[in-house]
Amino acid sequence: MSAARSVRTAASAAVGGSNRGRDGAREIPDATIARLPVYHRVLGQLAESGVTTVSSEELAAACGVSSAKLRKDLSHLGSYGTRGVGYDVRFLAYQISRELGLSQPWGVVIVGAGNLGHALVAYRGFASRGFAVVGLLDSHPDVVGRTLGSADSPIVVRPMHELEAVVADGGAHIGVIATPADAAQDVCDRLVAAGVRSILNFAPAVLSVPEGVEVRKVDLAVELQILAFHEQRRNDEPPESAEREIPSFVPESLGEAINA
Amino acid sequence: MSAARSVRTAASAAVGGSNRGRDGAREIPDATIARLPVYHRVLGQLAESGVTTVSSEELAAACGVSSAKLRKDLSHLGSYGTRGVGYDVRFLAYQISRELGLSQPWGVVIVGAGNLGHALVAYRGFASRGFAVVGLLDSHPDVVGRTLGSADSPIVVRPMHELEAVVADGGAHIGVIATPADAAQDVCDRLVAAGVRSILNFAPAVLSVPEGVEVRKVDLAVELQILAFHEQRRNDEPPESAEREIPSFVPESLGEAINA
DNA sequence: CCGTGTGAAATATTTCACAGCC
DNA sequence: GGCTGTGAAATATTTCACACGG
């Protein structure tokens, strides 16, 4: 309602500040945090394939990063590797999941049951990472009342006015906005008023939230435009074929393990 | 096919390198490029509302960034503002669109016609930014042949084996992967073989591509895990309420203009 | 040996603060 | 007087390269 809230966007503001080592020891850089989920997923795939140990070189290649970056990232969590050997796949996966807070379940409320909302509800890998959809809301009378999701965990679309109740009853921690852009700020305000402090916004709109609330955004149009920019650049300047590139590659063994 | 391709991910690698001023003048930082689409969208909204001029302070607030950052970003494009006055909304929007390559149309091929694929096809703001869906493919017999999209620009789901033909005939520049993770690398390889050098990947998988191909990824699970991390942090350490925050806000006038 | 963990150097990005121009 | 454009300082992130431990 009032203007007494600040505008915050994805990368711009984390909770209070990033990593000016405040009190204790570990202040993990944002850039590292953003990569941990990928490391975690790949480690899970390796574990499933029976791989028990990986070197930073191998894991880095499988994750699409440099080994130096991977080691530096992991060093922020602690010393979980063994020199001369590498990392124990399961142990490292566990440490990362703990750091990310995946060991406890997080309730997610999804607002907007259009195509995107459907896609989100259908997303496997939700539950597997400790996220549970505790509510799905939409304002359109035609979809309210419908049941989505798998047979074993059905989700009924609730009317918008139940948002506050759904958040409270479900103990939701994270709100996902999958509405048209013009509804996004209202939905955001209501989520925040209901106590949600972490929001993932798919609507192409800049959201204003009070301090202490984190918003991350996923914007298709933005991604396409970034690609278009580079595409244009490539076409503009065809000169110079000099190469500078880290010719990393996925080792046979791991490649197969992951595609298995 | 072979292992002679490097692994690249979203932020990791641009086309050749970022902004080591090679030849001419303008090397725009990646971080700036990533924000230009937002500036562009907001400027468009302002223009529609009849606003003709904005100061960096106002525009920055509406975009959720600091004014210093906005000015620095814009300075990479040229000197398009007027000291003591601000920026001409339409002129600046045009300059940004030109820089992003939005003045020419880009063909987009979407692979995967599940819920996400549907959502992407339905996405308005696709066409408005110069992107045109020139093809939609899926491997599932049940969806192949169906017609999606609006009445005035219908899109028929084509079978996967037509991928190469669709890319060639439609002159597609950008490929969007909206398939399950286990199909992503195959689809990616075929897109690249067909000549696509810009890929947007929604599948939770690390893609390997040859040099010269750019991949950007959008990963729901990653975003949720980042939010979960911060959420956990907030709960772990309730101490210290000292504030450090840029108390920016959206001015009445602009706020209304944008929500109009 | 081999591969991790890490200081130190190199880059990239953000913020400051103010000169310059309308 | 007000606001842009921008060097210079402060931060953040990545890369290097090597000491150290199993």
Instruction: Provide the CATH topology of domain A3-99.
Output: Arc Repressor Mutant, subunit A (1.10.10)
- Is the pLDDT score of B254 beyond 50? yes
* Strand spans (E) along chain A: 6-7, 53-54, 81-82, 86-88, 106-111, 131-138, 147-148, 155-159, 174-177, 198-201, 208-209, 214-217
CB burial of residue B124 (10 Å; 0-12, 13-18, 19+): exposed
Q: Is the CB of A82 under 7 A from strand D?
A: yes
Query: Which DSSP symbol is given to A72?
Result: H
Q: CA neighbours within 13 Å on the CB side: how many for A33?
A: 23
Contact A37 B232 (CB under 8 A): no
- Is the pLDDT score of B240 beyond 80? no
Distance B19 CA to C19 C1' (A): 27
Residue A148 pLDDT? 92
What does the pLDDT look like over A83-95, one tens digit per residue?
A: 999 999 999 999 9
Contact B197 A234 (CB under 8 A): yes
B39 touches chain A (CB under 8 A): no
What global pTM score does this model have?
A: 0.88
Q: Which nucleotide is nearest to B85 (CA to C1')?
A: D3
B241 touches chain A (CB under 8 A): no
B59 touches chain A (CB under 8 A): no
Nucleotides of C under 7 A from a protein CB: 1-7, 11-17, 20-22
> What are the angstrom distances between the C-alpha of B36 and each of A211, A256, B31?
25, 39, 9
Mean pLDDT throughout B219-242? 84
What does the pLDDT look like over A107-137, one tens digit per residue?
A: 999 999 999 999 999 988 888 899 999 999 9
Ordered by start, the domain boundaries in chain B are: 3-99, 106-218, 222-259
- Taking the alpha carbons of A196, A197, A198, A204 in that order, is the dihedral positive or negative? positive
Which of these ranges, A28-32, A149-153, B169-173, has the smallest mean pLDDT?
A: A149-153
Q: What is d(CA A100, CA B172) in angstroms, rounded to the nearest whole number? A: 38
Closest CA to A43 of A72, A81, A79: A81
Q: Is the CB of B86 under 7 A from strand D?
A: yes
- Is the pLDDT score of B246 beyond 90? no
Residue written as token pair 């072979």 = B2
Distance B66 CA to C14 C1' (A): 10
B19 touches chain A (CB under 8 A): no
Q: What is d(CA A5, CA A209) in angstroms, rounded to the nearest whole number? A: 6
Closest CA to B29 of B96, B82, B74: B74
| Helices A67-75, A56-63: crossing angle, 10 deg rounding | 110
Contact B200 A223 (CB under 8 A): yes
Put residue B140 in one of left, alpha, beta given phi > 0 → left and psi -120 to 50 → alpha. beta
Instruction: Provide the CATH topology of domain B106-218.
Output: Rossmann fold (3.40.50)
Q: Is the CB of B83 under 7 A from strand D?
A: yes
| Helices A115-122, B115-122: crossing angle, 10 deg rounding | 160
A9 touches chain B (CB under 8 A): yes
Q: What is d(CA A202, CA A118) in angstroms, rounded to the nearest whole number? A: 13
- Is the pLDDT score of B20 beyond 60? no
A1 touches chain B (CB under 8 A): no
Q: What are phi and psi of A166, to 5 degrees?
A: -65, -45
Q: What is d(CA B255, CA B193) in angstroms, rounded to the nearest whole number? A: 47
Which of these ranges, B8-12, B28-32, B228-232, has the smallest mean pLDDT?
A: B8-12
Q: What is d(CA A164, CA B221) in angstroms, rounded to the nearest whole number? A: 24
Distance A109 CA to D12 C1' (A): 33
Angle at A234 between CA A231 and CA A239, to 5 degrees: 175
| DSSP class per residue in B115-156 | HHHHHHHH-TTSGGGTEEEEEEEES-TTTTT-EES-TTS-EE
Nucleotides of D under 7 A from a protein CB: 1-7, 11-17, 20-22
Q: What is residue B231's three-state secondary structure?
A: helix
* C-beta of residue A144 within 8 angstroms of C-beta of residue A158: yes
Q: What are phi and psi of A47, to 5 degrees?
A: -60, -45
State how far residue B84 is from chain A, nearest Cα, in angstroms: 25
Mean pLDDT throughout A247-253? 49
B residues 139..168 contacting A (CB < 8 A): none
B206: closest chain A residue by CA: A63
Contact B64 A8 (CB under 8 A): yes
Distance B259 CA to D1 C1' (A): 31
Mean pLDDT throughout A152-163? 95
| DSSP class per residue in A43-65 | HHHHHHTT--EE-HHHHHHHHTS
Residue written as token pair 């975009």 = B63
Contact B222 A34 (CB under 8 A): yes
- CB-CB neighbors (< 8 A) of B34 in chain A: 222, 226
- Is the pLDDT score of B248 beyond 70? no
> Could you say which of B16, B41, B231 has the minimum Cβ distance to residue A173?
B231
Q: What are phi and psi of B6, to 5 degrees?
A: -100, 155
Q: What is d(CA B218, CA B210) in angstroms, rounded to the nearest whole number? A: 20
A106 touches chain B (CB under 8 A): yes
Query: Which DSSP symbol is given to B211?
Result: T
Contact A206 B38 (CB under 8 A): yes
Q: What is residue A23's three-state secondary structure?
A: coil
